[in-house]
Amino acid sequence: MYSLLTGTWKKAQYVYHQVMHAYHCTLYKDCLDMQLKAHYYRMARHHELKLKSSGC
């Protein structure tokens, strides 16, 4: 039971980071303000690194 919950949690985290990475990439591409653009890039990079480290 524990491994089923752990696997489900990891899959949910992976999907969350996929969605947030796509969301921040879209905002980054459409943004004109340089400060916001830098913020969106950092957030997209953060979610990209989480995707790579999750190993799903």
pLDDT value at residue 36: 97
Spell out the per-residue pLDDT of the chain, length 56, in tens: 788 999 999 999 999 999 999 999 999 999 999 999 999 999 999 999 999 988 66
Cβ-in-10-Å burial (0-12, 13-18, 19+) of 29 comes to exposed
Task: Give this prediction's pTM.
Answer: 0.84
Q: Closest Cα to residue 15, out of 23, 26, 5?
A: 23
pLDDT value at residue 20: 97
